[in-house]
Structure 1
Amino acid sequence: MNGEIRPIIVRNADTLLYILREKLGLTGAKPGCLNGDCGACTIHVDGAPMKSCLMLAVEAEGCTITTVEGLNYTALQAQFVDKFAFQCGYCTPGFIMNADALIAKHPDAEDKVITEWLDSNICRCTGYKEIEEAVKTAMAIARSASNASQSL
């Protein structure tokens, strides 16, 4: 869990979202719809975005789990702030986790791919333009950093 081994006893019926919030105190993943539609509870499971309300905690045994708390203020998070890509902020951690996985998997994603990935998250307060701008700028920063390290 976020780079640490966190042994915990869970019931067979406990969702990963419940365990994250109630047993581990990691409240970044938010309960929204609780049926996988909104994306507010998105985390990474073995590097892939997963809606934690849809996954039983027992299914996560042996997996590498990363929550928004485990990102440690990335360029993507900074761009969400710089581009005002939030209003109330409730959905923001889910968007950030989904976009972080997008950047890792498709660092040169075109607009269509970005839109497809962001479609799995819902924001009821603001438009998606600022969120898309934050993701695109973070992608450019990641590419620039990658190019700089390759030229060394």
Structure 2
Amino acid sequence: MGIKIVCKNKKAYHEYEILDTYEAGMVLSGPEVKSLRGGRGNLVDGHVAINARGEAMLYNVHISHYMFTSHNPVEPLRVRKLLLHKRELHKLNGKLKEKGLALIPLKIYFIENGKAKIELGLAKGKKMYDKRATLKEQQGKRELARVMRRG
């Protein structure tokens, strides 16, 4: 079966330089899991912060409410707790205090046993000229691949 990717944050690779990645579990309600299985999630404006109690919290990630639920729907933009090892939390907390680093969600996926996981990226914001250089490099690779296909 493998991994089923639910949603990706494509904008993150354009806006940020990803330095390191981490995998975390998420504390979700039942209807949120069902909604994610249907592919109804959005990571674009999401970010992660570590609160005063040392817990990683996920902000601004939109998970639409499940339309077939019978009880009160959950707020789509609610703050969600992330499950990381204590040593990872301490390491991330130290790195997040550095200037210019942020922890952003890259993708949400389900692993083989049905648990939802989120891939987080320790990122540094790109400047405008970095974005232009990246686009130019990608266009060059595309052009080279096109020429190689022709023969």
TM-score under structure 1 length normalisation: 0.28
In our comparison, the structure showing a higher alpha carbon Rg is 2
Judging by fraction of residues, say which structure has more helix.
1
State the structure with bigger RCO (CA 8 A, min sep 6), 1 or 2.
Answer: 2
Return the structure number with greater strand share. Answer: 2
Query: TM-score if structure 2 supplies the norm length?
Result: 0.28
